[in-house]
Structure 1
Amino acid sequence: MDDMTPELALKHIWTLAGCDPTALHSVTLTGADPGLPSVYRVGSLASASIAATGLAAAEYQRLRTGHRQHVTVEMRRALASFRSERYLRVDDGPPPALRDPVTGFYETRDGRWIQLHTNFAHHLRGVLQVLGCENDPAAVAAAIRNWDGATLDQTLADAGLCAALIRTPDEWAALDQAKAIRGLPLFEIERIGDAPAEPPRASDADRTLTGVRVLDLSRIIAGPVAGRALAQHGADVLMINGPHLPNIAPLVIDNGRGKRSALVDLRDAAGREVLRGLAADADVFLQAYRPGALAARGFGPEELARARPGIVYVSVSAYGHQGPWAQRRGFDSLVQSASGIAFTERQAAGWNEPKHLPCQALDHATGYLAAFGAMVALARRATEGGSWHVRVSLAQTGRWLQSLGQIADGWQAHDVTLDDVRDCLTTVESEFGRVLGVQPAEVLDETPAYFALPPARIGAHEAKWA
């Protein structure tokens, strides 16, 4: 697909969702790949997914006002958004530490490569237990040289740990999980129940999603980016964390902008009752637990559609909701490793070891697609009623990126430093200190996207609606 452009990618997203094609005339996209060092069209992915989100926000506002507004997305700004966690700074301090030292690529006994993901302490402990070695990258590397790659990959997966064998695109395509993903579209927006129409709340505010209440039960990047994207268009986003669940501090700050944050323990009946009460008054229920995990607690899409007719339930997963890997724990970099992306980037650049994309592109694109799907479903609810379920996954997004074709010398593009994107950043005072972060990339003529709230520490607010 040598002629793939951001405009064509946006048209694909918009058409797949069944949205009004005339709205595409109200979008201007500027810039061309490669915007970052990669053979993949990461810039087109960024521009298209962010523009779709901005355009869906504009269309939801049109239901309120009756007229359209223009949306503009500049690729360099979209790519800055796709690297928001990398450009984050607190009190002019150093770049954020996002990875545990053991996370990375390791060569196996049979000459394969495997990637470990040990950014959570309990995942690190589990990996070290399987390997029987010390918490030291050199000791881990020595232990892994005693394993064949595929055996270690399966052993770690069976133990509920986070790793991925580096596969070629062909090896990935032959797996049952890849075949399951192949049968799914890029995203799904399905009606799952009947409910009366709920037009946008009348408002003279300058925010598209004023009055829309979002419960954000997600951590790390993809789900939180979805919640952040809804917050930047005016939604009341309440982030819900379990008191026992691990987080990564810089991501709490970066993806917490625009949101309030509360603690609710779903392990006990009182906590589940609190969440049920919140969900009864919510418009969007966004969750990124593994498929079925919340349903086991009584918070599946069908249960919530019965309890709160008109709910928009958004599910974000790693490997998709179908196939043998549906329950496998995964992160953006692991999906890149498993699906052939890291192999392809390595091959193109002639590196000795696997090479990831220059940003967490699957995370960010999946997050924006989740927010897009939520807004499309809200618009459908406004006009035809119903309860809705939106489903996205990192693996489906990765498959789509791979389908957009490659740029042979794209890996030679210049990297983009913090100083290169200073005009894309803004500063806000917060309880963490002075936070420098990337501004929303989509520009809407009449309802600008911005963060009304600074990031807050986990559990800073009460578990109740404003």
Structure 2
Amino acid sequence: MTRSDDVPPPDAATAHAWTALGGDPVLSERVTYRAVSGGLPARLPVAELARATVGVCSLAAAELGARRSGGAVPAVRVDEGAVATAFISERHLRIDGRRPTNFAPLSGFWRAADGWVRTHANYPHHRARLLTALGLPAHSGPDELAAALVERPARAIQETVYAAGGLAVAVAEPGESEIPLGGLPLIETRRVGDAAPRRLGEAPRSANGDLPASGAWPVSAGPASAGPASGGLPTSGALPATGALPARGALPVNDGLPANDGLPASATLPTSAMLPASGVRVLDLTRVIAGPVATRTLALLGADVLRVDSPRLPEDPDAHADTGFGKRSSALDLAAPEDRRTFEALLADADVVVTGYRPGALDHYGLGADALLERRPGLIVAQLSAWGWSGPWAGRRGFDSLVQAATGIAAIEAKDDGDGHPGVLPAQALDHGTGYLLAAAVLRALTERQDTGGGHHLRLSLAGTASWLTHGIAPATPVGGPAHDPALWLAETASDLGALRHARSPIASPDGPLDWARPPGRLGADAPRWL
């Protein structure tokens, strides 16, 4: 029964995303939303995108849980308040009361001679390359950068900085884009090979029943200085097994939280319910927001997620504190033979590999999708990129803020200050939305693998999600609902990083928990092995 504050099904954006995932269209009508007012205000339909991505992820989890238990796929009811809170989880995060800094001083919008540019210099090596490209000293600050940029054309800045390995894009006008958005798919999926169907927890077999040989992955040491720019893995850290959250069903609830109505259906489940992704081993080769949000969601749903990063690249520990919930992580150098052997052993027993690198960046390590799927029948390879998988921008580095700028989103959301200053979405919605879509695609692939077998190759991009936001989602008629109160969806937990205040997951799977089984730990603290 639809309640007065529910967004009535069918929701067009939800139906579109579910169809793109290859799901049965009828099932999308089982997703409803509890409406709130003022959650993610924007000119573009950000709230519609956000709830749809969480809605299809919740439905995919419910579908997998039903397939494993032999029951019918239940309805799911997603709370828009939980969605709005989770989509800015990095802003809600507190570490011992400290508010993390999300953008460095040299990351932002800057006037150019003929418009605006957006830079990204959060990582030290990107900051250094930006300044080098512009001929500025290493100690330069915002004033020096602004003076250097205002005299140059925006596209000249863009190409000069990218050529030096830095990150800067020209801000496109409304309705325009630095990259061709037409035809960019939201989700690409393909079934690969003839591996026999198998239930979760079984070893993969080919169609003739043979087990694949383990420890036979191709080894390529690569250059000693390899990093993401040259195909190596990025850095990130690890989650210790200490400081676990209360068991499912025993979580403390905020005093102001409405009984049942404001909670995902999972909040009232008994602790004995099987998690949809229990027994699934996920090798996480992602960083920043989108990929880690996807794997954080899979961990919530019961997967054993191990994040692996290079010890030679810096990572923002605050970003890890936000997206490391539920996961473990280790540091391995694929150029070191012993670390490579350890990595091969992890691959041999993985169900899912998730990567967040530019197209082709991992190929020389033998970790391209085709190589993985050829050597491992039944593997699910999920790939994420910034700019898509073909065209002149495919090989460029990118982040949510840059994709917003290059696709016209920043101009559409421009401030009403009279000088045309570009604006931003109320959340890094391309990152978060793509993350939930990526998790949904993995869950659907796990369901399909049980029925039809084979391996699965999944590809998503921030640009594809931007195209959907700007061209594929119609603003919905407001339903109303109570005013958004993020405090209802925040929790506190102890961790090795300190006392954390964090956003709870918005996933509303009937077979899933309300919060993660463990908090994030210190970077690199876990042994590189499966549980």
Structure 1-normalised TM-score?
A: 0.91
Match of 2:188 in 1: 188
Shift of the alpha carbon at 1:98? Answer: 1.6
Could you say if the C-alpha distance between residues 445 and 205 of structure 1 is closer, same or farther in structure 2, counting changes exceeding 3 Å?
closer
Shift of the alpha carbon at 1:307? Answer: 2.3
Q: CA RMSD in A?
A: 2.3
Q: SS where residue 424 of structure 2 aligns?
A: coil
Structure 2: any 5+ residue segments left out of the alignment?
1-6, 203-271
Deviations 1:68-94 (A, max 9, x none): 233111112111111011101122x13
Q: SS where residue 321 of structure 1 aligns?
A: coil
Match of 1:378 in 2: 446
Match of 1:82 in 2: 87
Match of 1:9 in 2: 13
Match of 2:24 in 1: 20
Match of 1:158 in 2: 163
Tell whether the 8 Å contact from 2:197 to 2:450 is kept in structure 1 after alignment: yes
Match of 1:197 in 2: 197
Match of 2:206 in 1: none
Match of 1:421 in 2: 486
Cα distance between partner residues in 2 of 1:436 and 1:52: 27
Could you say if the C-alpha distance between residues 351 and 269 of structure 1 is closer, same or farther in structure 2, counting changes exceeding 3 Å?
farther
Corresponding position: 1:115 with 2:115: no
Could you say if the C-alpha distance between residues 351 and 33 of structure 1 is closer, same or farther in structure 2, counting changes exceeding 3 Å?
farther
Match of 2:464 in 1: 396
Q: 1:236 aligns with which of 297, 304, 328?
A: 304
Could you say if the C-alpha distance between residues 60 and 43 of structure 1 is closer, same or farther in structure 2, counting changes exceeding 3 Å?
same
Q: 1:441 aligns with which of 493, 506, 517?
A: 506
Match of 1:101 in 2: 105
Match of 2:515 in 1: 450
Task: Write the letter of the residue equivalent to 2:493.
Answer: V
Tell whether the 8 Å contact from 1:10 to 1:52 is kept in structure 2 after alignment: yes
Cα distance between partner residues in 2 of 1:435 and 1:274: 32
Q: SS where residue 11 of structure 2 aligns?
A: helix
Tell whether the 8 Å contact from 1:34 to 1:42 is kept in structure 2 after alignment: no
Shift of the alpha carbon at 1:326? Answer: 0.4
Could you say if the C-alpha distance between residues 324 and 383 of structure 1 is closer, same or farther in structure 2, counting changes exceeding 3 Å?
same
Corresponding position: 1:206 with 2:302: no
Q: SS where residue 171 of structure 1 aligns?
A: coil
Task: Write the letter of the residue equivalent to 2:513.
Answer: P
Cα distance between partner residues in 2 of 1:241 and 1:21: 38
Q: SS where residue 284 of structure 2 aligns?
A: strand
Return 310-319 or 426-435, whichever deviates more.
Answer: 426-435
Match of 1:314 in 2: 382
Cα distance between partner residues in 1 of 2:143 and 2:431: 29
Task: Write the letter of the residue equivalent to 2:189.
Answer: I
Could you say if the C-alpha distance between residues 191 and 264 of structure 1 is closer, same or farther in structure 2, counting changes exceeding 3 Å?
same
Structure 1: any 5+ residue segments left out of the alignment?
none
Shift of the alpha carbon at 1:201? Answer: 4.0
Between structure 1 and structure 2, the one with the greater Rg is 2
Tell whether the 8 Å contact from 2:37 to 2:483 is kept in structure 1 after alignment: no
Match of 1:131 in 2: 134
Match of 2:361 in 1: 293
Tell whether the 8 Å contact from 2:9 to 2:32 is kept in structure 1 after alignment: no
Deviations 1:55-114 (A, max 9, x none): 1011011111122233111112111111011101122x132112111111111123x100
Cα distance between partner residues in 2 of 1:157 and 1:33: 41
Shift of the alpha carbon at 1:19? Answer: 1.1
Match of 2:269 in 1: none
Runs of 4+ in structure 1 over 6 Å off? 3-6
Task: Write the letter of the residue equivalent to 1:54.
Answer: S
Match of 1:37 in 2: 41
Corresponding position: 1:270 with 2:273: no
Shift of the alpha carbon at 1:240? Answer: 0.6
Cα distance between partner residues in 2 of 1:183 and 1:380: 26
Task: Write the letter of the residue equivalent to 1:236.
Answer: D
Shift of the alpha carbon at 1:246? Answer: 1.7
Shift of the alpha carbon at 1:324? Answer: 0.6
Task: Write the letter of the residue equivalent to 2:453.
Answer: G
Q: 2:147 aligns with which of 126, 133, 142?
A: 142
Task: Write the letter of the residue equivalent to 2:120.
Answer: H
Shift of the alpha carbon at 1:268? Answer: 2.8
Shift of the alpha carbon at 1:160? Answer: 2.0
Could you say if the C-alpha distance between residues 313 and 387 of structure 1 is closer, same or farther in structure 2, counting changes exceeding 3 Å?
same
Task: Write the letter of the residue equivalent to 2:158.
Answer: D
Cα distance between partner residues in 2 of 1:229 and 1:135: 39
Cα distance between partner residues in 2 of 1:237 and 1:345: 36
Q: SS where residue 388 of structure 1 aligns?
A: strand
Return 98-107 or 261-270, whichever deviates more.
Answer: 261-270
Cα distance between partner residues in 2 of 1:6 and 1:345: 28
Task: Write the letter of the residue equivalent to 1:264.
Answer: L
Tell whether the 8 Å contact from 1:281 to 1:308 is kept in structure 2 after alignment: no
Shift of the alpha carbon at 1:135? Answer: 2.1
Could you say if the C-alpha distance between residues 304 and 95 of structure 1 is closer, same or farther in structure 2, counting changes exceeding 3 Å?
same
Structure 2-normalised TM-score?
A: 0.80
Could you say if the C-alpha distance between residues 129 and 415 of structure 1 is closer, same or farther in structure 2, counting changes exceeding 3 Å?
farther
Cα distance between partner residues in 2 of 1:273 and 1:350: 59
How many residue pairs align between the two structures? 449
